Each structure stands twice: as structure tokens, then as C-alpha cells.
Copies of this chain bind each other. A is one copy, B any other.
Amino acid sequence: VFDARPLIRAKRDRNPHAPGEIAEFVRAYAAGEVPDYQASAWLMAAFLNGLDAGETRALTLALLESGRRFDWSDLGRPSADKHSTGGVGDKISLILAPLVAECGVLVPMVSGRGLGHTGGTLDKLESIPGFRTRLSPEAMREQLGRLGVVMVGQGPDIAPADGKLYALRDVTSTVEFEPFIVSSIVSKKVAGGAGAVVYDVKTGDGAFLRDPRRAVGLARMLVEATRALGTGAAALVTDMSQPLGEAVGNGLEVRETIDVLEGRGPADVRALTLELAARMLALAGANPDLEVARGRVTGALDSGRARERFTRLVEAQGGDPRTLERGGAGIPGAPHVVPVRAAGAGRLAEVRTFDLGEVVVKLGGGRIAKEDDIDPRVGLRVLRRIGDEVRAGDVLAEVHAASDDPAVAGRVRECFVVRDEAVEPPALVLERVV
């Protein structure tokens, strides 16, 4: 049986761990030989005293090796995945996955659920009646070969040590630490078996890393840790100082997904989707030239073929494709829709995006605890963007709620800061790590 005390003491005293020590600790923890109370003491010691690049690599590898690593190379096509660090209104994956598959690159996408103020891809998909996000490895392989795209949750086979460790981090206030974040993300993404991963690292008020410098640092760490495991990687650092697109909330975001797939929808969602998709094609080797890749993904989106692929994806995973017709009219909607109007005039200077995310959680559209149920109908539509001119009485947003609570509109209004001054709209992509 592994004795964790020397490892805890070493990190407590700022002594480095050898890679083998971390591997053995993770193995023993996953096997139940190290109790949670020792693992959490180590988590806090590492959080406060740091893990260097080598320790982070060793941790990532150990988490990866706690489960299986998928391999789709026998399907004979390049493959790519995308991961976002989480934001408010980020429905990019839903559009991106069928779009990239349409361009000949396999997308074996393993996604997560929402927690706290950010949404999760699985929750969004599950607002489509019937959609299943649990597939056996055999079903994944079959669908990937036939359709080029599969969107599933992290099964028990993928980095199980990370699942156990993440649950412990969540209850011991040791989440917000880059080496843990990197090892957790990268181990799962690499286990998913894509040949290349593009990271979308969010920064700004609605992201968990508000400071752009920390976001750039995280982007670099993600790329480095992924490449160290033999998987291609690139990262974009993108703006989350306001919600992405208009829709925030699971069902509303599926409708916006359909809008964008049908050539409508917000310009920022479309632009970021195309940019990430082009990066995936380039990184996977399908179109090494980024300009060519951009042209190809734009064509696939504008032709309606990506929309078509999305329908087939939904159908393949048990969803009812009829719910996606007429802009997603079959997706359940909320009974109460309340406009939020501007009190004064000026320019929209700031959007308290974190607070908007929290409003959606309180409406029932997100989780405080992992086991919470989600109401797919509720959310917000955010109708003005930073830099826009605003007149008193303009509708800034809509609240989509299950019940009529007049206080919510007031809380949402406070999230929109209008000032009497010129305001520059923020850039969508702040930095590239390629």
C-alpha cells in the first residue's frame, strides 16, 4: 500500500516530485489505496506551493493512463477535437462539430456538463428531446466511421482518476489552479483520441480566468502539455467580457445553433466557429493552409451541408430532428418572457457576464451542485453588445423564466453598464498560440 505522507510532506516543504512519484500517487489514489483526506492535503499543498512543468506533465500522463486512450487512426481520416475553458453563451461546439466533420475531419468530441456560471455542451445537447450523450465505445466508433462526428460525455473509461480527483478538488476549494486545470483538461482530451486539439481559452468577466495574461499562460500550458503526449495542439485566447452570441441557456442556445447553421444568428458566434473550425482542419492536416481551410469551412457552413450533418448527428444519437425545424421551434421554451429595458442612454460600456451566468443558474438553467437538475427552457437573450448605442427604454435583453419573478429583470438590468462615452467593441480573438 502506498504511503502518501512523504509525498504530502515533500510538496508542503517545496521539494519537487519525481515523475514516478506522481504516477504512483495517482495510481494508488484511483485504486482507493490513498484516502481522500490525504489526497486533499496534497492538492492544497500543490495549489499553494506550485507544480512545475515536469510535475504537471507527469500528473497529466498519470491521469491519462488511469483510463483508456481511444485511437481512431484505423478509420483512415484525420481527426480533431475542440475544448473551451467555459463561458457564458458558448454554444460553439454544437455548430463546430458537424461543420468540421462535413469538411472530412473526424470529430470524436468528449464534452462536459455545466457547473457554476458557465454552461456545458452536454446540457445543451440534452435540451433536444431524446438526445443521448452516453454511447458505448463500439457505438462511438460505428457512428464516427459512418457520420464523421460523435458528441458524448466522459465515460468511466476516460481518465477515471481525473473524475475522482476533480470531484475532490470541487469540495476542497482547489479548482482554480492552472496545473490541475491543464492536467484535467488535457488528460481527457488526449484520451478522446483526436489527432489534434484546438483550445478556446476564454478571458474576461464571464471566464474563470478574467486576467488575459493568465489566460495566455494557460493557453501555452495546454498546448505544451497536449503536444508532450503526442497530440497536435493550438489555442486561441478569446473574449468573454460579454456573452458569446445572444442566447444564454440550454434550449435557447440550441435554437441559436440552428440559426447560425442556417446562415442567420449572431456574427460573433459565426466568426469564432469558422476560425476554430479552420484551425482544426489545418492542425489535423486536412488543409494545412489556414486560408484554404477558412474557405472550406465557410463553404460548408453557407451551403447548408453542416446544417444537414447536424440533423443527422441529432438523429443518430436519438434526438428528434423535427424539433430542429423552423429555427428550433420544437425545443421547449419558457412560459415567461420578460424584456429588460435600459434606464438611461449612452453606450453599452460593460456587461457583467459572470453575473448574467449566475442569473441563468438561479433561473434553473445551470447547476450549483453536480446533482442539480437543469431546466432547458430558461435563460436570457442578450440583445446589445459592448460599444452599441443605447437609448432609454431600449430592450437590452429578454429573461426566459419558468415563473414570473419581477426581481430578475432588475438584476439583469444591473448587468448592463451604460455610460455617456465612446466605447470600443472588444476584439473577439485576443491571442493565438499555434
- Where the two chains meet, the residues of A that have a C-beta atom closer than 8 Å to any C-beta of B are 5-6, 8-9, 12, 35-41, 43-45, 47-49, 168, 171-174
Contacts and interface: CB of A to CB of B under 8 A. Distances in A.
A271 to B, nearest CB: 37
* A39, A48, A172, A174 pick with most chain B CB within 10 angstroms: A172
A49 B45 CA distance: 10
A172 B35 CA distance: 10
Given A44-B41, A44-B44, A48-B48, A172 B8 contact: yes
A172 B38 contact: yes
List the 3 closest pairs (A to B, CB-CB), nearest first.
Answer: A41-B172, A36-B37, A44-B44
If over half of A's interface residues share one DSSP class (helix, strand or loop), that class is named, otherwise mixed; here it is: helix
Given A12-B173, A41-B43, A44-B48, 11 more contacts: A8-B173, A9-B173, A12-B44, A12-B48, A35-B171, A37-B172, A38-B40, A38-B172, A41-B172, A44-B44, A48-B49
A174 B38 CA distance: 10
A5 B116 CA distance: 14
Count of chain copies: 2
B40 A173 contact: no
Contacts of A38: 40, 171-172
Contact of A37 (B5, B9, B39): B39
A174 to B, nearest CB: 7
Nearest to A170: B5
A174 B42 CA distance: 11
A173 B38 CA distance: 9
Contacts of A36: 35-37
A6 B38 CA distance: 20
15 contacts: A8-B44, A8-B172, A8-B173, A36-B36, A37-B37, A37-B39, A37-B168, A37-B171, A38-B171, A40-B40, A40-B44, A41-B43, A41-B44, A41-B174, A44-B45
A18 to B, nearest CB: 18
A43 B9 CA distance: 13
A47 B171 contact: no
A43 B37 CA distance: 10
Contacts of A5: 171-173
A39 B43 CA distance: 13
A278 B207 CA distance: 65
B44 A173 contact: no
A35 B174 CA distance: 16
Q: Which of A5, A39, A44 has the most CB of B within 10 A?
A: A44
Nearest to A7: B173
Nearest to A10: B173
A277 B44 CA distance: 44
Contacts of A12: 44, 47-48, 173-174
Contacts of A45: 44, 48
Nearest to A169: B41
Contacts of A8: 44, 172-173
Nearest to A174: B41
Nearest to A44: B44
Nearest to A43: B41
A99 to B, nearest CB: 39
Contacts of A44: 8, 12, 40-41, 44-45, 48
Contact of A41 (B9, B35, B41): B41
A37 to B, nearest CB: 4
A102 to B, nearest CB: 44
A37 B168 CA distance: 8
A48 to B, nearest CB: 5
A39 B6 CA distance: 19
Contacts of A172: 5, 8, 37-38, 41
Contacts of A9: 173
Contacts of A47: 12
Contacts of A35: 36-37, 171
